[in-house]
Amino acid sequence: MAVPERATLLWLFRTMATIRAFEERHMQEVNAGKPIGGGHSSIGEEAVPSGVCAHLTDRDFVASTHRGHGHCIAKGVDVKGMMAELLGRSTGVCRGKGGSMHIADVSKGMLGANGVVGSNLPLATGAGLTAKLRGQGQVSVSFFGDGASNQGTFHESLNLAAIWKLPVVYVCENNMYAESTPVEYSTSVKDIAQRAASYDIPGVIADGMDVLDVYEKAGRAVERARRGEGPTLLECKTYRYFGHFLADDPHRYRTKEEEDGYRARDAIATFKKRAVEGKWLTAQEMEAEEKQAYSLMEEAVRFAEDSPPPSLDDLLTDVYVSYPRSKA
Amino acid sequence: MAVPERATLLWLFRTMATIRAFEERHMQEVNAGKPIGGGHSSIGEEAVPSGVCAHLTDRDFVASTHRGHGHCIAKGVDVKGMMAELLGRSTGVCRGKGGSMHIADVSKGMLGANGVVGSNLPLATGAGLTAKLRGQGQVSVSFFGDGASNQGTFHESLNLAAIWKLPVVYVCENNMYAESTPVEYSTSVKDIAQRAASYDIPGVIADGMDVLDVYEKAGRAVERARRGEGPTLLECKTYRYFGHFLADDPHRYRTKEEEDGYRARDAIATFKKRAVEGKWLTAQEMEAEEKQAYSLMEEAVRFAEDSPPPSLDDLLTDVYVSYPRSKA
Amino acid sequence: MTTTTATRQITYGEAEREALREEMRRDPNVIIMGEDIAGAAGRPGFTDAWGGPFGSTKGLIQEFGAERVRDTPISEAGFIGAAVGAAATGMRPVADLMFIDFIGCCLDQIMNNAAKMRYMFGGKSRMPLTIMTRIGAGVGSAAQHSETLYSMLTHLPGLKVVAPSDAYTAKGLLISAIRDDDPVIVCDHKRLLGRRGPVPEEAYTWPIGKARVLKPGKDVTLVGISLMTGVCLDAAAALAKEGVDAEVIDLLSLSPLDDEAILTSVKKTQRLVVVDEDTPRCSLATDIAALVADEAFDYLAAPVKRITAPHTPVPFSRVLEQAYIPNAQRVVDTVKGIMG
Amino acid sequence: MTTTTATRQITYGEAEREALREEMRRDPNVIIMGEDIAGAAGRPGFTDAWGGPFGSTKGLIQEFGAERVRDTPISEAGFIGAAVGAAATGMRPVADLMFIDFIGCCLDQIMNNAAKMRYMFGGKSRMPLTIMTRIGAGVGSAAQHSETLYSMLTHLPGLKVVAPSDAYTAKGLLISAIRDDDPVIVCDHKRLLGRRGPVPEEAYTWPIGKARVLKPGKDVTLVGISLMTGVCLDAAAALAKEGVDAEVIDLLSLSPLDDEAILTSVKKTQRLVVVDEDTPRCSLATDIAALVADEAFDYLAAPVKRITAPHTPVPFSRVLEQAYIPNAQRVVDTVKGIMG
Ligand SMILES: Cc1ncc(C[n+]2csc(CCOP(=O)(O)OP(=O)(O)O)c2C)c(N)n1
Ligand SMILES: Cc1ncc(C[n+]2csc(CCOP(=O)(O)OP(=O)(O)O)c2C)c(N)n1
Ligand SMILES: [Mg+2]
Ligand SMILES: [Mg+2]
């Protein structure tokens, strides 16, 4: 494996650190009872969106899941606008109307988190169709979970993308659980990548705890897509450190030992160690990045809290309202 | 390949001949403008339901498609009641309320033709669940087309049956077309059986123009299911001689040569030839069976035409009717 | 706006094809996707085998090619969801859902993505998606191919729903739907597709949200939808012979609803009968009745009546199917019952 | 039948769990299927990790085992369709659809198979299927987890739809649903699940199709559904202080509808306000208004009023979400407006 260039390494680290800082800060706010509705933390999985989105620009598309904060950040969505969104403020990226499960910024090619498991795969496929029809080398990425790989939309989307040779990368974030359900129960194959055989497309497994492995394999898939050779199914084996949502206690369905095993391979810590050992980046500059990420979150929370909530008029905007006329 | 015993051979031949006679007679009625709504002919595909259902009893289940007459006959549904159904009579197996696309006889384990492509796979899966919970060795079969194999229900059903080891045989009748759409356009794999890899279950290809090949391979799948070893995906390569529905001219999307090629391998004619050559059955007894099948159809049409249509009261029965009260 | 001076007569289906052709010429972002909309996809030597199950897209692939007139596998959630994704990223797709009865295969994409994205994203996205689909009983296709069902979609915020009643409105509404930045469902009654009527050759729009009065009258308001508009006109003609002067409103848009047109008419006639082929519960029929019982209450001289299909699936046998569908006689009888 | 003499208080969710347990003991054909209804499926040492996302099935797997309390993958069309197939072949399954917002993933199985088979097959099959699902806004889950949506299902012939309003009716209706030979959708409001109320320990049924009068009154009829029944009671209490005597009907069954109960009440009070958290178009609110505008027209003294959510998706921000949901103040104001 070739080591990416310094700017890329720095971007990968910064992105992972920003995601983690964001998720931690958000968790803190949720625990303080601020945003109702909670949210799904992606702590532990930072390497996946970072390694994939490193290959994308604002002109490429991402369709995301209920666990979407990391995808947003890696796709370049403004962190302050995100925090304001999660706190339901009018300055949120969705003006406070979407919240965690529908956070989006179409101007960045981020087509939204999605509260319906499996629902984003057709969306990403359609974005891939746009890319193909436009012919400008854009690429579309769907992130989805191991659980989502059992939805019918997975099958229909991969078949469509395969027969139409669409520039889509289907990234399965296999964190081994769908809520409390272990993947070995829900899923009839050991590796989800194996399902690529049903579509005659490449099925690739990456170590989702190793950002460089994800980066390399996603790079190949994105390049293949940009060249017009069609879709790839990329399975990233990863782990969420916390519960399914913030109030969920994961020890009801998995062992502490299993968790410790993954935490010992923490993507950020491992990267730091390797970067120092390989003299790619210095410990100081990485610590500075981390500090910077945490202080950005302070700023983001302050920004959000200083922002007003939406006005009541916003209830009826952004949708044609026909009935009852102006009475709702 | 071991030649089945004489009674089985006779059953296979009689069933194929009955299906063909039924479809021809129905076509005649449709062309005479009798049943409105037409129907989907299965002429050319007779070997598939015959070879599969030879392994089933009334206690086993079949879930069928829009092209369901053959499945009904092979599953033992009364031919007179079927003809009456297609002509909309009160003596029809569904009392005239279902018609060709919903013809059913639950008492025979025939859970219905189905007008929604792909919709029967979950039904058959559920019947397989019943079979498993009952623990009496029942088996469930889903027939579906090449087109249906691109529906999400295919994926969800096969995954469920695989993880739960349900006694279900998924029989893909690959007749190379879904309406006018060739399978090589719609489907990302050469052989649909290949998709079994996504579920870690056997994927088997049978020659759907050869009833003995279907019989043998279906037998293995049914036995596996009865033993509690789980589902099989059995792809039968076959061909419909006529259009998608009776008014469809198939020469708008396929060549006469292709058709001729399949007709030259006609399942009934081939079987006859081999049976005579192998001295399994005599030409005379097979001709008698065919004659018998055609005269059964005369009888069936007469029965149907002598039967009254449903009474207007039937509009509101067989469903709770709440509203508007007794006013419809 | 309620009539046309065109003299050329074409069918409803041809009118829609013309709308598609004109919009595809006008805007390269317009594409069509659906099962067998061209046919024989990818088969050398067999272009345009079907041109759509109802011929609505016949001839378009020759002019616009297979990239823009795109046959799909049988994967409603997949390809309609892909149309949603394409619309979110700058295309203006028209997706063909063969029968509205198949809505359950793809409703999630329509209700959770297409209908909600603009609102959920704080207005920062557009969803210029059109879905064409076929409704209605009467052709012997039984329970899974004969539903009307538009009431279910009208229930959903974020969707616009229209139901043309003739060739003229079919073309105008389809063009409006394609140009609209919100998702629009166009419900075509299978028994209207072959009917001829005057249609201008050039592109024109019929505004979404606008009903029309097809026959003015002073004694009772009949609201018709899709095929039922013709039933209302027949009933009005029969009623005229008996001295009852019915006003016939052709609803055309189900969402948004032209409540002004309905209220104005009922305030004049003081009586309302809604004729709707959909099943009765939580339907367009109840919707319009409820509107009037609230906002025109003081004008009403008689109970508000609804004539609908019964609350059952569609039966196969012809005698039952005919009894299932509302007809002019039922309208006449109902009107007489409230004229007293 | 409208009250219970029980004194034991348990939550709505516990009442449902009791109903499930009692019916599973009573009939070995009763099974439950759904995502995480036990949890940690197949993982040695971790039985019943969740007991359902809302705890409704907690403890059942210990008694009935994983064959009958069956966790499923995320495959709504697959497992709900499998429940339909199991019901058609002799089981009596209860399928758990986590949120009604996911109905679009499996509607085809419900509307084209479960709802129609009995009719299509000429009455020769049964469909003893129960689907439990969660409705309603107010917990900050935004547009894709907060819908009410039962109106869409009520529209469909062949389905029965119920919406309990407290622990007592939750248990009685769930038992009725399980014993019913037609498919029944049980809509549980998420904000009711934790509320306590008196519930008898033994099994009992609340008849499907039967509403109840929770507070008699003579001036105006308030019809509430699910959580909105409580809103009606609050409004009635506030109105009483102002001298308005409101009758509160708790609808409970949406399909079939207890039209007798509604008509009897409105004929007495002459005024109707329907309070429905669902969006307004083609909804239960219009359905009930239309019924009354037809069949109790001669008794009505004022316009028929509907109080509903606006015709928009559910917004996230708490201030907007609170404004979205109908409340007692709106009911009071509306009633005052028609008391004239
Ligand atoms: C269609 C649908 N079914 C069920 C749910 C409830 N739900 C939300 S997240 C989730 C688990 C998803 O698992 P996976 O796809 O592996 O993603 P992860 O949460 O592990 O990131 C479930 C069942 C949903 N949101 N949508
Ligand atoms: C969900 C759905 N989509 C589309 C249709 C229309 N339709 C009916 S049959 C058919 C083709 C089915 O092809 P296949 O599964 O190969 O079966 P075959 O007709 O070849 O037996 C289509 C598209 C339908 N009935 N249901
Ligand atoms: Mg997961
Ligand atoms: Mg086929």
Q: Distance, CA A176 to ligand 3 centroid (Å)? A: 5
Checking if the pLDDT of D280 tops 80, the result is: yes
Residues in the ligand 1 pocket, defined by CB under 6 Å: A 65-67, 115-117, 145-148, 173, 175, 177-179, 244; D 35, 74, 76, 98, 102, 105
Could you tell me if B152 lies within 8 Å of chain D, comparing CB atoms? yes
Helix (H, G, I), strand (E, B) or coil at A93: coil
Q: Are B178 and B172 in contact (CB under 8 A)?
A: no
What mean pLDDT comes out for the span D31-48?
97
| Nearest-angstrom CA–CA distance, A132 and A117 | 26
Q: Please answer yes or no on whether D300 and C298 come within 8 Å at the CB atom.
A: no
Mutate to test the interface with D, among B101, B114, B125 (most CBs of D within 10 A): B125
Chain B residues whose beta carbon lies within 8 Å of the beta carbon of residue C310: 315-316, 321, 324, 328
Q: Please answer yes or no on whether D144 and A115 come within 8 Å at the CB atom.
A: yes
Chain D residues whose beta carbon lies within 8 Å of the beta carbon of residue C143: 112, 116, 119-120
| Nearest-angstrom CA–CA distance, B294 and B18 | 8
Q: Distance, CA B249 to ligand 2 centroid (Å)? A: 16
Nearest to A194 among B154, B198, B201 (CB): B198
| Nearest-angstrom CA–CA distance, D278 and D286 | 11
pLDDT for the residue numbered D5: 80
Question: What CATH homologous superfamily does C9-198 map to?
Answer: Thiamin diphosphate (ThDP)-binding fold, Pyr/PP domains (3.40.50.970)
pLDDT for the residue numbered A35: 75
Q: Which residues of D159-173 are buried (b: 16+ CB within 10 A; e: fewer)?
A: bbbbbbbbbbbbbbb
Within 8 A by CB and 6+ apart from B255, the residues are: none
List C145, C155, C189, C311, catalytic entry: C145
Angle in degrees, 0-180, between the axes of helices C60-68 and C12-26, rounded to the nearest 10? 50
Angle in degrees, 0-180, between the axes of helices A152-163 and B152-163, rounded to the nearest 10? 130
First and final CA of chain D: distance in angstroms?
34
Helix and strand numbers (H, E) in chain B are: 11, 7
Q: Tens digits of per-residue pLDDT, C195-246?
A: 999 999 999 999 999 999 999 999 999 999 999 999 999 999 999 999 999 9
> Does ligand 2 come within 6 angstroms of the Cβ of B66?
yes
Q: Tens digits of per-residue pLDDT, A165-180?
A: 999 999 999 999 999 9
What mean pLDDT comes out for the span A118-130?
98
From the CA of D148, how many Å to the nearest CA of chain B?
Answer: 22
Architecture per CATH, A6-307: 3-Layer(aba) Sandwich (3.40)
Q: Which residues of C296-323 are buried (b: 16+ CB within 10 A; e: fewer)?
A: bbeebebbbbbbbbbbbbbbbbbbbbeb
pLDDT for the residue numbered A325: 46
What mean pLDDT comes out for the span D104-115?
98
pLDDT cut 90: percent of chain D above it: 98
> Which amino acid, one-letter code, is at B101?
M
| Nearest-angstrom CA–CA distance, B101 and B22 | 15
Strand partners, C185: C131, C161
Chain B residues whose beta carbon lies within 8 Å of the beta carbon of residue D180: none
Element (H, E) at B162: helix B152-163
Chain D residues whose beta carbon lies within 8 Å of the beta carbon of residue A35: 140
Q: C77 vs C2, C189, D51, CA distance in Å?
A: 37, 23, 31
> Which amino acid, one-letter code, is at C228?
M
Q: What are phi and psi of C214, to 5 degrees?
A: -90, -25
To 5 degrees, how large is the angle CA D281–CA D284–CA D288?
110
pLDDT for the residue numbered D6: 82
Atom of ligand 1 nearest to the CA of D145: 25
What mean pLDDT comes out for the span A201-223?
98
Q: Distance, CA B73 to ligand 4 centroid (Å)? A: 20
Chain D residues whose beta carbon lies within 8 Å of the beta carbon of residue C302: 297
- Positive or negative, the CA dihedral C253, C258, C262, C264 is negative
> Does ligand 2 come within 6 angstroms of the Cβ of C6?
no
Q: Are B214 and B221 in contact (CB under 8 A)?
A: no
Q: Which string of DSSP letters, residue by residue, matches B198-229?
A: GGTS-EEEEETT-HHHHHHHHHHHHHHHHTT-
| Nearest-angstrom CA–CA distance, D163 and D252 | 5
pLDDT for the residue numbered C7: 87
| Nearest-angstrom CA–CA distance, D328 and D324 | 13
Q: Please answer yes or no on whether D39 and A181 come within 8 Å at the CB atom.
A: yes
| Nearest-angstrom CA–CA distance, A150 and A117 | 10
| Nearest-angstrom CA–CA distance, C39 and B179 | 8
For chain D, give every domain's residue range: 9-198, 212-339
Within a 13 Å sphere around the CA of D28, how many CA atoms are in the beta-carbon half? 4
Residue D301: name the closest of D242, D182, D221 by CA: D221
| Nearest-angstrom CA–CA distance, C81 and D338 | 46
Chains that touch A (3 or more CB pairs under 8 A): B, C, D
In this structure, which topology does domain D212-339 adopt according to CATH? Rossmann fold (3.40.50)
Chain B: residues touching A (Cβ < 8 Å): 150-156, 158-159, 162-163, 185-190, 194-195, 197-201
What mean pLDDT comes out for the span D21-37?
98
Q: Tens digits of per-residue pLDDT, B242-290?
A: 999 988 999 999 999 999 999 999 999 999 999 999 999 999 999 999 9
Q: C193 vs A145, B322, C151, C227, CA distance in Å?
A: 44, 33, 21, 10
- Positive or negative, the CA dihedral B188, B190, B192, B197 is negative
From the CA of B247, how many Å to the nearest CA of chain A?
Answer: 29
Residue D339: name the closest of D261, D235, D262, D239 by CA: D239
| Nearest-angstrom CA–CA distance, A153 and C41 | 22
Q: Distance, CA B144 to ligand 2 centroid (Å)? A: 9
Residue A30: name the closest of A211, A247, A203, A175 by CA: A247
| Nearest-angstrom CA–CA distance, C257 and C276 | 15
Q: For every one of its 328 residues, what pLDDT tens digit does chain B have, with 9 covering 90 and above?
A: 789 999 999 999 999 999 999 999 999 999 998 877 678 999 999 999 999 999 999 999 999 999 999 999 999 999 999 999 999 999 999 999 999 999 999 999 999 999 999 999 999 999 999 999 999 999 999 999 999 999 999 999 999 999 999 999 999 999 999 999 999 999 999 999 999 999 999 999 999 999 999 999 999 999 999 999 999 999 999 999 999 998 899 999 999 999 999 999 999 999 999 999 999 999 999 999 999 999 999 999 999 999 999 999 999 999 987 554 444 3
> Which amino acid, one-letter code, is at D306?
R
Q: D330 vs D190, D226, D240, CA distance in Å?
A: 22, 17, 15
pLDDT for the residue numbered B35: 75
Q: Token pair of A107, please?
A: 């101007």
For the full predicted model, state whether its pTM sits above 0.90.
yes
pLDDT for the residue numbered B282: 98
Q: Please answer yes or no on whether D89 and B157 come within 8 Å at the CB atom.
A: no
pLDDT for the residue numbered B326: 40
> Does ligand 2 come within 6 angstroms of the Cβ of C324?
no
pLDDT for the residue numbered A38: 75
Query: Which listed ligand is nearest to D76 at the C-alpha?
Result: 1
Checking if the pLDDT of D3 tops 80, the result is: no
Q: Token pair of A86, please?
A: 């999660």
Element (H, E) at B127: helix B120-134
Angular region, C226: left φ>0, alpha ψ -120 to 50, beta rest: left
Q: Which residues of B280-302 are buried (b: 16+ CB within 10 A; e: fewer)?
A: bbeeeebeebbeebbebbeebbe
| Nearest-angstrom CA–CA distance, A78 and A18 | 11
Q: Distance, CA C74 to ligand 2 centroid (Å)? A: 7
Q: Are C309 and C325 in contact (CB under 8 A)?
A: yes
What is the radius of gyration, based on Cα positions, of chain B? 19
Q: What is the 3-state secondary structure (H, E, C) of D185-253?
A: EEEEECCCCCCEEECCCCCCCCCCCCCEEEECCCCEEEEECCHHHHHHHHHHHHHHHCCCCEEEEECCE
Q: Which of C35, C37, C74 should be mutated for ligand 2, with most atoms under 8 A from CB?
A: C74
* Cβ atoms within 10 Å, residue C327: 15
What mean pLDDT comes out for the span A301-324?
89
| Nearest-angstrom CA–CA distance, B124 and D76 | 15
Residue B184: name the closest of C43, A154, A198 by CA: C43
Runs of H (alpha helix) within A143-210: 152-163, 183-186
Residue B169: name the closest of B80, B60, B304 by CA: B60
> In which band, very low, low, confident or very high, does the pLDDT at D196 lie, cut at 50, 70 and 90?
very high
Sheet holding B168-174, edge to edge: B61-63, B140-145, B168-174, B232-237, B203-207
Domains C9-198 and C212-339 share a fold: yes
| Nearest-angstrom CA–CA distance, C154 and B88 | 33
| Nearest-angstrom CA–CA distance, C336 and D61 | 61
Catalytic residues of D: 145
Checking if the pLDDT of C1 tops 90, the result is: no
Q: Are A122 and C72 in contact (CB under 8 A)?
A: no
For chain B, give every domain's residue range: 6-307
Q: D89 vs A264, A276, B81, CA distance in Å?
A: 50, 64, 21
